[in-house]
Protein backbone atom coordinates (compact mmCIF):
# COMPACT_ATOMS: atom_id res chain seq x y z
CA UNK A 1 0.00 0.00 0.00
CA UNK A 2 1.53 3.27 -1.09
CA UNK A 3 -1.19 5.88 -0.79
CA UNK A 4 0.64 8.25 1.58
CA UNK A 5 1.90 11.45 -0.07
CA UNK A 6 3.92 13.80 2.09
CA UNK A 7 2.99 16.73 -0.17
CA UNK A 8 -0.32 16.99 1.75
CA UNK A 9 1.52 17.49 5.02
CA UNK A 10 4.72 19.37 4.08
CA UNK A 11 5.50 22.11 6.58
CA UNK A 12 2.89 21.10 9.16
CA UNK A 13 3.55 21.16 12.93
CA UNK A 14 5.04 17.66 12.82
CA UNK A 15 7.50 18.72 10.11
CA UNK A 16 8.45 21.78 12.15
CA UNK A 17 9.52 19.58 15.05
CA UNK A 18 11.13 16.83 12.94
CA UNK A 19 12.97 19.16 10.58
CA UNK A 20 14.17 21.53 13.28
CA UNK A 21 15.68 18.54 15.11
CA UNK A 22 17.17 17.20 11.87
CA UNK A 23 18.70 20.62 11.17
CA UNK A 24 20.25 20.79 14.65
CA UNK A 25 21.66 17.28 14.37
CA UNK A 26 23.17 17.93 10.92
CA UNK A 27 24.50 21.30 12.01
CA UNK A 28 26.25 19.55 14.90
CA UNK A 29 27.69 16.83 12.62
CA UNK A 30 29.32 19.42 10.39
CA UNK A 31 31.31 20.90 13.26
CA UNK A 32 33.88 18.13 12.79
CA UNK A 33 35.88 18.05 9.59
CA UNK A 34 35.54 14.30 9.11
CA UNK A 35 32.80 13.27 6.68
CA UNK A 36 29.65 11.38 7.63
CA UNK A 37 26.84 9.36 6.02
CA UNK A 38 23.32 10.78 5.98
CA UNK A 39 20.84 7.93 5.53
CA UNK A 40 17.14 8.65 4.94
CA UNK A 41 15.03 5.47 4.94
CA UNK A 42 11.76 7.12 3.80
CA UNK A 43 12.74 10.23 1.87
CA UNK A 44 9.59 11.48 0.16
CA UNK A 45 9.92 13.87 -2.79
CA UNK A 46 12.76 16.06 -1.50
CA UNK A 47 11.10 19.45 -2.05
CA UNK A 48 7.45 20.55 -2.07
CA UNK A 49 5.71 23.37 -3.95
CA UNK A 50 3.29 24.87 -1.48
CA UNK A 51 1.15 26.58 -4.11
CA UNK A 52 0.30 23.24 -5.68
CA UNK A 53 -2.93 21.33 -5.21
CA UNK A 54 -1.74 18.90 -2.52
CA UNK A 55 -0.45 21.44 -0.01
CA UNK A 56 -3.33 23.82 -0.74
CA UNK A 57 -5.94 21.12 -0.27
CA UNK A 58 -5.05 20.56 3.38
CA UNK A 59 -3.34 23.89 4.07
CA UNK A 60 -1.40 22.17 6.88
CA UNK A 61 1.67 24.35 6.39
CA UNK A 62 -0.43 27.39 7.25
CA UNK A 63 -0.78 26.04 10.79
CA UNK A 64 2.88 25.06 10.88
CA UNK A 65 5.88 26.73 9.26
CA UNK A 66 3.86 29.72 7.98
CA UNK A 67 3.09 30.77 11.56
CA UNK A 68 6.74 31.11 12.56
CA UNK A 69 8.74 31.86 9.44
CA UNK A 70 8.60 35.63 9.82
CA UNK A 71 8.81 35.81 13.59
CA UNK A 72 11.82 37.87 14.61
CA UNK A 73 11.57 36.57 18.18
CA UNK A 74 11.94 32.88 17.38
CA UNK A 75 14.45 31.15 19.70
CA UNK A 76 18.05 30.79 18.61
CA UNK A 77 17.71 27.00 18.49
CA UNK A 78 15.36 27.33 15.53
CA UNK A 79 17.82 29.46 13.58
CA UNK A 80 19.46 26.69 11.49
CA UNK A 81 16.02 25.45 10.41
CA UNK A 82 14.31 28.82 9.86
CA UNK A 83 17.20 30.40 8.01
CA UNK A 84 17.25 27.44 5.63
CA UNK A 85 13.52 27.74 4.87
CA UNK A 86 13.96 31.50 4.37
CA UNK A 87 16.90 31.01 2.01
CA UNK A 88 14.83 28.63 -0.14
CA UNK A 89 12.06 31.21 -0.38
CA UNK A 90 14.13 34.28 -1.20
CA UNK A 91 12.44 34.62 -4.57
CA UNK A 92 8.90 34.34 -3.22
CA UNK A 93 6.58 36.92 -4.70
CA UNK A 94 5.49 38.13 -1.27
CA UNK A 95 7.41 38.00 1.99
CA UNK A 96 4.35 36.50 3.71
CA UNK A 97 3.94 33.69 1.24
CA UNK A 98 6.10 30.61 1.24
CA UNK A 99 6.55 29.01 -2.17
CA UNK A 100 8.55 25.92 -1.28
CA UNK A 101 9.15 23.71 1.70
CA UNK A 102 11.96 21.14 1.90
CA UNK A 103 11.48 17.50 2.76
CA UNK A 104 14.17 15.77 4.78
CA UNK A 105 16.46 15.40 1.70
CA UNK A 106 16.05 19.14 1.10
CA UNK A 107 17.11 19.82 4.67
CA UNK A 108 20.08 17.45 4.39
CA UNK A 109 21.25 18.94 1.10
CA UNK A 110 21.69 22.31 2.78
CA UNK A 111 24.03 20.90 5.44
CA UNK A 112 26.12 18.16 3.83
CA UNK A 113 29.62 18.98 2.54
CA UNK A 114 31.96 17.48 -0.08
CA UNK A 115 33.25 14.94 2.43
CA UNK A 116 29.74 13.71 3.38
CA UNK A 117 27.53 11.30 1.44
CA UNK A 118 23.74 11.01 1.38
CA UNK A 119 21.75 7.81 0.86
CA UNK A 120 18.07 8.24 0.14
CA UNK A 121 15.40 5.53 -0.10
CA UNK A 122 11.86 6.00 -1.42
CA UNK A 123 9.33 3.53 -2.80
CA UNK A 124 6.54 5.64 -4.29
CA UNK A 125 6.80 5.74 -8.13
CA UNK A 126 5.94 9.45 -8.37
CA UNK A 127 7.89 10.66 -5.36
CA UNK A 128 11.02 8.74 -6.41
CA UNK A 129 10.84 10.60 -9.72
CA UNK A 130 10.56 13.96 -7.95
CA UNK A 131 13.38 12.94 -5.63
CA UNK A 132 15.68 11.96 -8.50
CA UNK A 133 14.96 15.28 -10.22
CA UNK A 134 15.67 17.14 -6.98
CA UNK A 135 19.00 15.33 -6.56
CA UNK A 136 20.24 15.89 -10.11
CA UNK A 137 22.96 18.43 -9.34
CA UNK A 138 23.85 17.10 -5.92
CA UNK A 139 27.22 15.36 -5.65
CA UNK A 140 27.66 12.25 -3.53
CA UNK A 141 23.98 11.45 -3.27
CA UNK A 142 22.69 7.92 -3.86
CA UNK A 143 18.96 7.57 -4.49
CA UNK A 144 17.29 4.17 -4.55
CA UNK A 145 13.74 3.04 -5.17
CA UNK A 146 13.87 0.26 -2.62
CA UNK A 147 12.83 -0.59 0.90
CA UNK A 148 14.33 1.90 3.36
CA UNK A 149 14.49 -0.46 6.34
CA UNK A 150 16.70 -2.89 4.43
CA UNK A 151 18.54 0.03 2.92
CA UNK A 152 19.60 1.34 6.33
CA UNK A 153 20.86 -2.05 7.46
CA UNK A 154 22.83 -2.50 4.23
CA UNK A 155 24.78 0.73 4.83
CA UNK A 156 25.59 0.24 8.51
CA UNK A 157 28.25 0.74 9.80
CA UNK A 158 29.46 3.50 7.48
CA UNK A 159 33.21 3.38 6.77
CA UNK A 160 33.71 6.77 8.43
CA UNK A 161 31.94 5.52 11.58
CA UNK A 162 30.02 8.77 11.57
CA UNK A 163 26.39 8.74 10.57
CA UNK A 164 22.91 10.18 10.93
CA UNK A 165 19.96 7.91 10.13
CA UNK A 166 16.43 9.29 9.75
CA UNK A 167 13.63 6.73 9.87
CA UNK A 168 10.38 8.40 8.91
CA UNK A 169 7.78 5.86 7.75
CA UNK A 170 4.21 6.80 6.78
CA UNK A 171 2.71 4.34 9.32
CA UNK A 172 0.02 3.37 6.81
CA UNK A 173 0.69 -0.16 7.94
CA UNK A 174 0.52 -0.96 11.64
CA UNK A 175 3.64 -3.10 11.25
CA UNK A 176 5.68 0.08 10.61
CA UNK A 177 5.69 0.82 14.35
CA UNK A 178 7.58 -2.32 15.25
CA UNK A 179 9.57 -2.56 12.01
CA UNK A 180 11.01 0.90 12.61
CA UNK A 181 12.12 0.01 16.15
CA UNK A 182 13.53 -3.34 15.03
CA UNK A 183 15.56 -1.59 12.34
CA UNK A 184 17.06 0.80 14.90
CA UNK A 185 17.85 -2.03 17.31
CA UNK A 186 19.56 -4.07 14.57
CA UNK A 187 21.42 -1.06 13.20
CA UNK A 188 22.57 -0.08 16.69
CA UNK A 189 24.00 -3.55 17.24
CA UNK A 190 26.30 -2.94 14.26
CA UNK A 191 26.83 0.79 14.78
CA UNK A 192 26.22 1.94 18.32
CA UNK A 193 27.70 5.43 17.93
CA UNK A 194 25.42 6.59 15.11
CA UNK A 195 22.68 9.13 15.64
CA UNK A 196 19.23 7.74 14.82
CA UNK A 197 16.08 9.84 14.56
CA UNK A 198 12.80 7.93 14.51
CA UNK A 199 9.62 9.89 13.84
CA UNK A 200 6.16 8.74 14.96
CA UNK A 201 2.63 10.13 14.85
CA UNK A 202 0.47 10.15 17.97
CA UNK A 203 -2.58 8.27 16.74
CA UNK A 204 -2.93 5.36 19.17
CA UNK A 205 -1.07 5.71 22.46
CA UNK A 206 -0.61 1.96 22.96
CA UNK A 207 1.38 1.68 19.73
CA UNK A 208 3.86 4.29 20.99
CA UNK A 209 4.09 2.63 24.39
CA UNK A 210 4.94 -0.62 22.64
CA UNK A 211 7.69 1.15 20.70
CA UNK A 212 9.16 2.65 23.91
CA UNK A 213 8.92 -0.70 25.65
CA UNK A 214 10.78 -2.49 22.86
CA UNK A 215 13.48 0.17 22.82
CA UNK A 216 13.90 0.06 26.59
CA UNK A 217 14.32 -3.72 26.66
CA UNK A 218 16.84 -3.66 23.78
CA UNK A 219 20.58 -2.97 23.95
CA UNK A 220 20.07 0.59 22.66
CA UNK A 221 21.36 3.29 25.05
CA UNK A 222 21.04 7.05 25.23
CA UNK A 223 17.57 7.74 23.84
CA UNK A 224 15.87 11.12 24.07
CA UNK A 225 12.11 11.18 23.46
CA UNK A 226 10.28 14.35 22.51
CA UNK A 227 6.58 14.76 21.91
CA UNK A 228 4.38 17.68 20.93
CA UNK A 229 0.63 17.05 21.08
CA UNK A 230 -1.85 19.55 19.69
CA UNK A 231 -4.70 17.79 21.44
CA UNK A 232 -5.24 15.18 24.13
CA UNK A 233 -5.08 11.50 23.15
CA UNK A 234 -8.35 10.24 21.73
CA UNK A 235 -9.85 6.99 20.47
CA UNK A 236 -11.13 8.79 17.43
CA UNK A 237 -9.29 8.56 14.11
CA UNK A 238 -6.53 11.05 13.33
CA UNK A 239 -3.13 12.33 14.39
CA UNK A 240 -3.24 14.46 17.54
CA UNK A 241 0.49 14.82 18.07
CA UNK A 242 3.98 14.06 16.88
CA UNK A 243 7.07 12.57 18.45
CA UNK A 244 10.66 11.54 17.92
CA UNK A 245 13.01 9.04 19.50
CA UNK A 246 16.56 10.28 19.11
CA UNK A 247 19.38 7.83 19.79
CA UNK A 248 22.75 9.42 20.63
CA UNK A 249 21.52 13.01 20.31
CA UNK A 250 24.08 15.82 20.19
CA UNK A 251 24.75 16.87 23.77
CA UNK A 252 23.00 20.26 23.49
CA UNK A 253 19.86 18.94 21.78
CA UNK A 254 17.78 18.49 24.96
CA UNK A 255 18.51 22.09 26.01
CA UNK A 256 17.69 23.33 22.51
CA UNK A 257 14.37 21.47 22.60
CA UNK A 258 13.63 23.06 25.98
CA UNK A 259 13.62 26.34 24.04
CA UNK A 260 11.77 25.11 20.96
CA UNK A 261 8.86 23.28 22.62
CA UNK A 262 7.34 26.15 24.66
CA UNK A 263 7.79 28.39 21.65
CA UNK A 264 5.94 25.91 19.44
CA UNK A 265 3.19 25.70 22.04
CA UNK A 266 2.75 29.47 22.03
CA UNK A 267 2.85 29.84 18.26
CA UNK A 268 1.24 26.63 16.98
CA UNK A 269 -0.67 25.35 20.01
CA UNK A 270 -4.32 25.19 20.95
CA UNK A 271 -6.04 25.00 24.34
CA UNK A 272 -5.10 21.35 24.96
CA UNK A 273 -1.59 21.49 23.54
CA UNK A 274 1.15 19.85 25.61
CA UNK A 275 4.68 18.60 25.17
CA UNK A 276 7.11 16.24 26.87
CA UNK A 277 10.84 15.80 26.72
CA UNK A 278 12.52 12.95 28.54
CA UNK A 279 15.62 10.82 28.52
CA UNK A 280 13.88 7.50 27.83
CA UNK A 281 17.10 5.48 28.15
CA UNK A 282 20.21 6.71 29.94
CA UNK A 283 23.66 6.84 28.30
Ligand X SMILES: C[S@@+](CC[C@H](N)C(=O)[O-])C[C@H]1O[C@@H](n2cnc3c(N)ncnc32)[C@H](O)[C@@H]1O
Give catalytic residue positions. Answer: 168
Q: Are 176 and 170 in contact (CB under 8 A)?
A: yes
Q: Which residue is nearest to ligand X (CB)?
A: 103
**Dihedral, CA atoms, 88, 2, 61, 107, nearest 10 degrees?**
-30
CB count within 10 Å of CB 152 equals 27
- List of residues contacting ligand X (CB under 6 A): 2, 4, 6, 18, 41-44, 103-104, 121-124, 127, 147-149, 168-170
- Pick between residue 27 and residue 192 the one whose CB is nearest to ligand X: 27
Task: Give least dist CB 173 to ligand X, A.
Answer: 8
Residue 189 CB, nearest approach to ligand X (Å): 21
Distances in Å between the Cα of 154 and the Cα atoms of 26, 39, 121, 215 are 21, 11, 12, 21
Q: 144 vs 1, 60, 119, CA distance in Å? A: 18, 28, 8
- Nearest distance from C-beta of residue 72 to ligand X, angstroms: 26
Does the bond joining 179 to the residue before it have cis omega, within 30 degrees of 0? no
Give the max Cα distance, the chain. Answer: 52
DSSP reduced 3-state for 143: strand
Using the Cα atoms of residue 16, residue 22, residue 24 and residue 27 in order, give the sign of their dihedral. Answer: negative
* Nearest CB to ligand X, comparing residues 2 and 255: 2
Q: Which is nearer to ligand X, 238 or 283 (CB)?
A: 238
Query: In whole angstroms, how close is the CB of 73 to ligand X at the nearest point?
Result: 26
Give the residue with the Cβ less far from ligand X, 153 or 281: 153
Alpha helix ranges (H) inside 144-174: 148-155
Quote the least distance from Cβ 32 to ligand X, whole Å: 24
Nearer to ligand X, 125 or 206 (CB): 125
Amino acid sequence: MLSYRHAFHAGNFADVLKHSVLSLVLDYMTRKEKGFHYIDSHSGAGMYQLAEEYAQKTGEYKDGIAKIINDENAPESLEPYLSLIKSLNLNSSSSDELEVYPGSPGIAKAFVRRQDSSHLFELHPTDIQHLEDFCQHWRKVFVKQSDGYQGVLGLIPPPSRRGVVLIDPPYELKEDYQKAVKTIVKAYEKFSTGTYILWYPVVKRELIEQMSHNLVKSSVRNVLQVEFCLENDTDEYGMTGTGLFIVNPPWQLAAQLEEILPYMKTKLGRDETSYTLNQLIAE
